[in-house]
Amino acid sequence: MLKLRTHLRSAVVRKTLAFGLPIALILSILATGAWLRAQDRTTFQVRVDMVVLGFTVTDQKGHYVNGLKPADFRVFEDDIQEKVATFAEGSRPPMEVLANGELRPIRKPEGGDQEEIGAGTVDLRNSSTGTNVFVLFDTSNYMYRGFVYASDAIADFIRGLDRTDSVAVYTYSRNLNRAVPLNRDRMTAIQGLRHAVAGDDSALYNSLLLTLRDAAKVPGRKVVIVFSNGPDNASMVAPDDVRAVAEDEGIPIYVISTSEVTRDPISTNIFKRISTNTGGKSYFAKTWQKQVEAFESIREDLGNSYTVTYYPRPNPNEGFRSIRIELTSEGMKKYKIRARPGYRPQRTF
């Protein structure tokens, strides 16, 4: 675990350098941090590094709109227009956005960390392309009857992921089980999935929180896909508090519920809310066929979405910062944009 953290840390730092943040500024931030610590041991400040923002654009008929360029949209944070640093469409590699709006490939850092990582494991330091997909599979008693069909549907989904995507398979009942860490080897992922053990109680929101915490450590674009039939009889955290973590970290949550929409209105509302507010989607798919269709829809969503990054301009707001994306062309004004509504900057001391 410690080793992984080291990788992640070096990934973040290197990525920051690659995106062109002046070294002097980094040093100044570090120096400021040290000064703050010396001044007051317990005063918290907000800190925002890079913001990763994923969104999809659909036309009036619900079809995805592809081929947009950075000049086609503007990103606002609390009505402050932000300068987009990188841009990517679907699973294509992100490109650096130049001052004139043109794109160019991101420069790879020279040299690099020579530490070896396990065979078959994704080198997160270089995972700038594709999406990091975390599948969270309910193996509690509530899923007993649909367990094997769900397993089939998830296996199909994993097989069909873009080759640049990475996938982690987590299962949960009362506790989370990290069956397969983030990986690009589909066979390994399916092996882990097929090795899942059916459990007892269901702690969906506890487990979703832990999954989000893991996902937050991974650089680049990431999504969490929850496959559950809804009930939770063991969590200590509320769905909306978990949703806030996903919002803040910029991780869309997709939910595939094996329950009917009308069967459990509470879970239905929650699923809709946590997916919509994080830029994801919810599906109610009781049959295997519907589940396969839901996964197909998620795959499409991933393949047709845009991902931009930016470093927020100075903003005195330390609370919730709303995010707005505007399409610049009049002809596009009627298009619908789906993205997370905002985030709360991280507090640190």
Partner 1 sequence: MGAASVGNVPPEVAERESAGDLAGARSLLEQEARSNDASATASLAVFLDRHHETGRRDALLKWAEFEKDPARRSLALRQAVLTDFMDGKSVELTQDLNAYRAAGGQDFALPPKTAGKPYSTILIPGPLSSFARMAAVTPDVEPEDLLPAFARTVVTNGYQASGNELLQQTEYLKLVIRYLGQARELQGLANANHQIVIPTCDSEQTGNLLKILGYRMRGSCGADISLETVNPTRAFITIDSGFPLSDLERDLRGNHRFELPYAPTPMPVLYDAKYWLAASGKAAEHVDFIETFASDPGLCRLYLGLSHLDHATAEILKAQMPAEKMRIYAAILDFYGSMFQVRNGAAVVPGSPKAWGSLAGASPSSPGPFFEHLLMTDDGWLAGYFDALTRLGDGPTRNYLTDSEHLRRFYEALRGRITSPGPARPVFRATSDLLLLTTSLRMDKDGTPHIPGNLDVWRTLFAKHPHGKYDARLSKSAPGWRSKDDLLEGLFALSRKTADNEPLKVFLALNDIDRDRSKPLSADTAARLIADYRQFGSQYRLFADTPALSEASMLHYLDFCKSTMEIRDTLLRSDVVGSAQAVVEIWNILSGRGAIPVADQDSSFAAVVEAFGRVHAPGDLMGAARTSLDDLFKAAGDTNHGGRQDRLVELLVGQIHSGIEGIPSPGERFVRMFDAQALIPIDYLLAAADHSGKAALDPKAVKNMNDQIERLRENETLHGSLSAEEKNLYGGSYWSARHVALERKFDLETMAKNPDKRESHAVLAALLRDSLVGMVYCYYAPPGSQIMLTNPLFVRSHDFVGLEGAPAYWAATDVSNSGWPASAGGRLYGSLVSVPYVLAQAEQNFMTPRREQALIWSDLVPQMVIGVTIPRWRNVLPTQLRWVSLHIERGKTLIAAAGLDSKLMPDVMDALGRHLAPGEVDRVRLRLLAQDFQGAISQVPPAIFYAISEDPSLAAVSPDVASMEIAALASANRPELTEAAIARAFGTPKPTLTHSYKPALLYVRTFPALMGFSSRILAETWESNNLYYAALADEAGIPAAALDTYVPEWNRSAIENIYAANLEDWPALIRSLNVTASGVLHRTSGVTQQASAEGFRN
Strands 342-343 and 321-327 come out as antiparallel
Q: Tell me the Ramachandran region of residue 111: left when phi exceeds 0, alpha when psi lies from -120 to 50, beta otherwise.
A: left
Please name which of 156, 226, 140 lies closest in space to residue 189, comparing C-alpha atoms. Answer: 156
Least distance to partner 1 from the beta carbon of 322, Å? 11
Least distance to partner 1 from the beta carbon of 178, Å? 6
Which of 22, 67, 319, 331 binds partner 1 (CB under 8 A)? It is: 319
Q: Applying CB under 8 A, what is the total number of residues that bind partner 1? A: 71
Q: Which of residues 72-111 bind partner 1 (CB under 8 A)?
A: none
296 makes contact with partner 1 (CB under 8 A): no
Q: Which of residues 207-226 bind partner 1 (CB under 8 A)?
A: 209-210, 213
**Residue 130 CB burial class (10 angstroms; 0-12, 13-18, ≥19):** buried
Per the document, the length of the chain is 349
Site string for partner 1, 116-135 (x = CB under 8 A): --------------------
Which of 68, 136, 196, 215 binds partner 1 (CB under 8 A)? It is: 196
Listed ranges 84-92, 121-129, 170-178, 278-286: which one lies at the site for partner 1 (CB under 8 A)? 170-178
Mapped onto helix, strand or coil, the DSSP state of residue 346 is strand
Which of 83, 195, 313, 336 binds partner 1 (CB under 8 A)? It is: 195
Distance CA 8, CA 3 (A): 9
C-beta of 70 vs 231, nearer to partner 1: 231
163 Cβ partners below 8 Å, 6+ apart? 130, 184
Q: Are 15 and 81 in contact (CB under 8 A)?
A: no
C-beta of 50 vs 180, nearer to partner 1: 180
